Amino acid sequence: MAQPHLLALGFGFTATALAKSLLAQGWRVTGTTRSEDKRHSVTASGAEAVIWPGGDLAPALATATHIVSSVPPRDEGDPAFELLADNIGAIPDLRWLGLLSTTGVYGDHGGGWVDEDTPLVPSIHRSGLRANQNAAWMELWHRYGLPVHIFRLAGIYGPGRSALDKMRDGTARRIVKPDQVFSRIHVEDIVQILEASFARPTPGTAYNVADDKPAPPQDVIEEAANLLGLPVPPDIPFEDAKLRPMARSFYADNKRVRNSRIKQDLGVTLRYPDYHSGLRAILAAERGENAP
């Protein structure tokens, strides 16, 4: 069997972690970046880099066995979808195709639970584009038979990108909106979920990617402060927080994301089922200790 080859359209936080894991297993990985300035962020991981849009992806498409996209849609369309739709016959070895989307596609449920069968009724424009993107990618499966899988990610955290870092750099704020909760997921669990899907491909399936414990954001900041032995930042009422429009928009949705499908269908046991275990593991790794 030919060497497995992942093409990552967009090489951000999650793709970097996935590449690290796959390269250690002997995979070939190609990642795209939008500018020459960012090429190093791809090659530093050990992956091959292609500037895209603009560069020639034909060689990578010709040998890719797996493709994952984290490219966000824009008002004018989804570049990753257009690339794939225009090159259906140019990916002869493709076994698996994945879209990293967002749980924002479900909209606001007043703190109630959502699962993969919940209708997509986004409440903000950005999430509406994501919902349209989900539908378009499913057409790649229905119409062209591409092995599409959709992963609706909750808020991503991990080493170098967590409440611990916000506490250290002084940007942590305990913004309190009554009854508001968010779901989240550790990046290492995203990686193991994607790899489990590689092993058990089920084209046409969507998966919620979230941990077991939706929680108010202020509780996560408090946990990080306690772990670091720092003072807990004071409560700031949501109405007084003076958030920028982008940050404020995240509070428009209030829901709990159910994750049963990744466990039942993919056999996944989360390494970090809640933010307590996730933050403690990050801190332990920073200190060269074994995770508690």
Q: What is the pLDDT of residues 124-183, one digit of tens each?
A: 999 999 999 999 999 999 999 999 999 999 999 999 999 999 999 999 999 999 999 999
The alpha helices in the chain, defined as continuous H runs, are: 13-24, 39-43, 58-63, 79-86, 125-144, 163-169, 187-199, 217-228, 245-250, 260-264, 275-286
In a domain, 239, yes or no: no
Whether 109 is in a domain gets the answer: yes
Number of domains in the chain: 1
Structural domain including 59 reads 5-161+185-210+257-271
CATH at 148: 3.40.50.720
Full DSSP string of 233-252: PPEEEGGGS---HHHHHHTT
Q: 210-229: per-residue pLDDT in tens?
A: 999 999 999 999 999 999 99
Q: Find out whether 286 and 141 touch, Cβ atoms under 8 Å.
A: no
pLDDT, one tens digit per residue, over 8-62 is 999 999 999 999 999 999 999 999 999 888 899 899 999 999 999 989 999 999 9
* Residue closest to 48 by CA, chosen among 100, 107, 8, 17: 8
Q: Is residue 226 part of a domain?
A: no
- Paired sense of beta strands 66-69 and 205-209, if any: unpaired
Is residue 67 a part of any domain in this protein? yes
The mean pLDDT of 93-114, rounded to a whole number, is 98
Cross-strand bridge partners of residue 148: 97
Q: What average pLDDT does the chain have?
A: 96
Has residue 289 been placed in a domain?
Answer: no
Is the overall model pTM greater than 0.95, yes or no?
A: yes
Contacts of 255 (CB under 8 A, 6+ apart): 103, 106, 107, 108, 109, 110, 111, 112, 113, 114, 181, 183, 214
Place of tokens 């997921």: 185
